[in-house]
């Protein structure tokens, strides 16, 4: 269970948050690349991380890491075509991946056929088990970026969805009725084994859920509360998202 909020940094706005997050991501990446031959990162979707991705692609930062050893995965995806405006992959390509020299074979979109979420989820799990080194039988990502919804979802672990009960798979399809959206997402076990999780949350809409998380209010509808990370967790918030914190 995520009880309380530790390792919280609060920034004036999304630009400052994103710039600090870019520095942090590069620091984690380069620390991993000093110790091993590759860096396995799972990107988050939604709107918050886009500014971070654009900053990582900016000339001032682009030269600060060996992109040829980055391996890009996605923590969740909408079951839409890869060029669709709602695609997390499309956003990451346009903001970052088309602008840095990561070998195409090291960029792994989650959705191949939007009409086949079950097959794509199973294939992605197979890919992750092949590509990412495991500890105690579970692949361990070096870094997982996560966002936070106003309803307490993270990745595509949404309230009142079946994926919240999935503990025997690493990746699963999920139907989000409220959004009329088919998605694929990392499940709790895979997220929990990450060596490092960096949450990014900005905007007033996140203030109430963050305040509840900080004071440990047991909110049955917050999927993020059920996360039991085994690695380190950091929260990068803007002032609006942090406005309810003590
Ligand atoms: C997605 C994300 C999702 C997102 C939150 C926050 O595919 O939508 O993975 O978990 O991080 O919904 O979204 P915003 O950054 O747009 O507020």
Q: What is the pLDDT of residue 219?
A: 72
pLDDT truncated to tens, each residue of the chain (246 aa)?
887 899 999 999 999 999 999 999 999 999 999 999 999 999 999 999 999 999 999 988 989 999 999 999 999 999 999 999 999 999 999 999 999 999 999 999 999 999 999 999 999 999 999 999 999 999 999 999 999 999 999 999 999 999 999 999 999 999 999 999 999 999 999 999 999 999 999 999 999 999 999 998 877 789 999 999 999 999 999 999 999 999
Q: What is the pLDDT of residue 97?
A: 98
Q: What is the pLDDT of residue 77?
A: 98
CA distance 225 to 99: 35
Taking the CA of residue 88 as reference, the ligand 1 atom at the shortest distance is 7
Q: What is the pLDDT of residue 115?
A: 98
Residue 101 burial class via C-beta count within 10 angstroms: exposed 0-12, middle 13-18, buried 19 and up: exposed
- Which residue has the CA at smallest separation from atom 7 of ligand 1? 45
- Which residue has the CA at smallest separation from atom 10 of ligand 1? 155
Taking the CA of residue 44 as reference, the ligand 1 atom at the shortest distance is 9
Taking the CA of residue 49 as reference, the ligand 1 atom at the shortest distance is 15
Q: Between vectors from CA 76 to CA 106 and to CA 145, what angle results, nearest 5°?
A: 75
- Which residue in 176, 196, 192 sits closest to 184, CA to CA? 176
pTM comes to 0.98
CA distance 182 to 159: 14
Cα 81 to chain centroid, rounded: 20
Q: How many CA atoms lie within 13 A of 96 on its CB side?
A: 23
In the reported structure, the alpha carbon of residue 153 is separated from the centroid of ligand 1 by a whole-number distance in angstroms of: 8
Cα–Cα distances (Å) from 40 to 31, 76, 92, in that order, read 12, 15, 16
The answer to whether the beta carbons of residues 191 and 197 sit under 8 Å apart is: yes
In the reported structure, the alpha carbon of residue 51 is separated from the centroid of ligand 1 by a whole-number distance in angstroms of: 13
* Count of H-run helices and E-run strands, the chain: 7, 11
In the reported structure, the alpha carbon of residue 146 is separated from the centroid of ligand 1 by a whole-number distance in angstroms of: 8
Cα–Cα distances (Å) from 162 to 19, 72, 102, in that order, read 36, 27, 35
**What is the SS3 assignment for 9?**
strand
Residues with beta carbon inside 6 Å of ligand 1?
A: 44-48, 76, 88, 147-149, 153-156
Q: What is the pLDDT of residue 221?
A: 86
In the reported structure, the alpha carbon of residue 54 is separated from the centroid of ligand 1 by a whole-number distance in angstroms of: 17
In the reported structure, the alpha carbon of residue 44 is separated from the centroid of ligand 1 by a whole-number distance in angstroms of: 7
In the reported structure, the alpha carbon of residue 36 is separated from the centroid of ligand 1 by a whole-number distance in angstroms of: 30
Probe residue for ligand 1, chosen from 14, 21, 45 as the CB with the greatest number of ligand atoms within 8 Å: 45
Q: What is the pLDDT of residue 217?
A: 81
């Amino acid at each position: 269970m995520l009880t309380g909020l530790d390792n919280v940094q609060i920034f004036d706005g999304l630009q400052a948050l994103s710039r600090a997050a870019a520095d942090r991501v590069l620091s984690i990446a380069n620390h991993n690349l000093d110790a091993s031959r590759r860096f396995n990162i799972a990107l988050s979707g939604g709107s918050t991380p886009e500014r971070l991705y654009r900053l990582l692609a900016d000339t001032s930062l682009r030269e600060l890491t060996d992109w040829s050893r980055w391996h890009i995965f996605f923590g969740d995806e909408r079951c839409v075509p890869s060029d669709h405006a709602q695609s997390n992959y499309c956003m990451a390509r346009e903001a970052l991946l088309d602008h840095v020299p990561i070998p195409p074979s090291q960029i792994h979109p989650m959705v191949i056929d939007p009409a086949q979420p079950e097959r794509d989820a199973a294939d992605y799990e197979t890919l992750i088990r092949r590509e990412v080194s495991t500890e105690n039988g579970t692949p361990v990502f070096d870094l997982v970026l996560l966002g936070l919804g106003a309803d307490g979802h993270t990745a595509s672990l949404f309230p009142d969805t079946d994926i919240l009960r999935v503990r025997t798979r690493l990746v699963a399809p999920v139907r989000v009725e409220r959004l009329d959206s088919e998605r694929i997402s990392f499940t709790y076990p895979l997220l929990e084994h990450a060596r490092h999780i960096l949450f990014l949350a900005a905007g007033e809409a996140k203030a109430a859920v963050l305040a509840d998380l900080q004071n440990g209010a047991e909110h049955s509808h917050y999927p993020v509360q059920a996360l039991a990370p085994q690695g380190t967790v950091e929260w990068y918030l803007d002032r609006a998202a942090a406005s309810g914190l003590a």
